[in-house]
Amino acid sequence: MTPAQITVAIVDDDPSVRKALKRLLKSVGMATQAYPSAEDFLHSAAVHACTCMVLDIHMPGMSGLELQVELARRETKIPIVFITAHHDDGLRNQALNGGATAFLPKPFDETELVEAIKATL
């Protein structure tokens, strides 16, 4: 899959993180759609159209882990790269055991994120 065929859904409550991730992924040729909450993502067409997702763990309302569980309940398989400022092994294990392909603590290296997305696909 070439970068031009990839659409990444970015779900993070921090507008500056969404903006930076959109800019980064655009710079490597990936299309993005960004959402400020898990609920906004669930109500969007991206649920069935994105190639993968960059998902924050802690957000107001539904958390990233709760979104992961909800997608599994709906049998919607979207590869997930989790990002978080609240790294702990319990969260990491829960995310990876739930099927996430990567778990990156903030701040993360931009190359590491891009490589995690590429590896997901």
The range of the structural domain enclosing residue 48 comes to: 3-120
Please tell me the predicted confidence (pLDDT) of residue 40.
Answer: 98
CATH code (residue 32): 3.40.50.2300
State in Å, rounded, how far the first CA of the chain is from the last one: 7
Residue type, 16: S
pLDDT tens-digit profile of 68-115?
Answer: 999 999 999 999 999 999 878 999 999 999 999 999 998 899 999 999
- The number of domains in the chain is 1
Quote the tokens at residue 5. Answer: 């065929």
Rounded distance between C-alpha atoms, residue 97 and residue 102, angstroms:
11
Residue type, 12: D
What pTM was estimated for this model as a whole? 0.94
